[in-house]
Amino acid sequence: MKLARRKFLHALAGAAAFPALSGTALAQSYPVRPARIISGFPPGGISDTYARLIAQWLSMQLGEQFIVENRPGAGGNLAAEAVAHAAPDGYTLLLTTSADAWNATLYRNLNFDIVRDFAPVGTISRGAGLLVVNPSLPVKSVPELIAYAKEHPGKLTIASAGVGSAPHMFWELLRSRTGINMVHVPYRGAGPAVVDLLAGQVQVYFGTFAASIEQVRAGKLRALAVSTAARAPVLPDVPAIAEYLPGFEASIYVGLAAPRGTPSAIVDKLNQTMNSALADATIKRCIAELGDAPLSLSPAEFAKLVAAEYDKWAQVIRAAGVKAE
Q: What is the pLDDT of residues 35-84, one digit of tens each?
A: 999 999 888 888 999 999 999 999 999 999 999 999 998 889 999 999 99
- Distance CA(236)–CA(218), nearest Å, equals 16
Q: CB–CB of 100/84 below 8 Å?
A: no
pLDDT score recorded for residue 325: 61
Asked whether this chain's domains 26-126+252-320 and 128-243 adopt the same fold, the reply is yes
pLDDT at 9: 38
pTM to 2 decimal places: 0.86
Contacts of residue 313, defined as CB under 8 A and 6 or more positions apart, other chains included, come to 98, 101, 102, 105, 169
Tell me if 90 sits within 8 A of 96, measured CB to CB: no
pLDDT of 93 reads 98
93, exposed or middle or buried, with CB in 10 Å at 0-12, 13-18, 19+?
buried
User: What are the boundaries of each domain within the chain?
Assistant: 26-126+252-320, 128-243
Fold of 128-243: D-Maltodextrin-Binding Protein; domain 2 (3.40.190)
Task: Give bridge partners of residue 97 from the DSSP assignment.
Answer: 254
pLDDT at 188: 86
Please give the pLDDT value at position 19.
52
CA atoms lying within 13 Å on the CB side of residue 190: 20
What CATH number belongs to 26-126+252-320? 3.40.190.150
Spatial separation of the C-alpha atoms in residues 294 and 132, rounded to whole Å: 23
Query: Which of the residues in the chain have pLDDT under 70?
Result: 1-27, 325
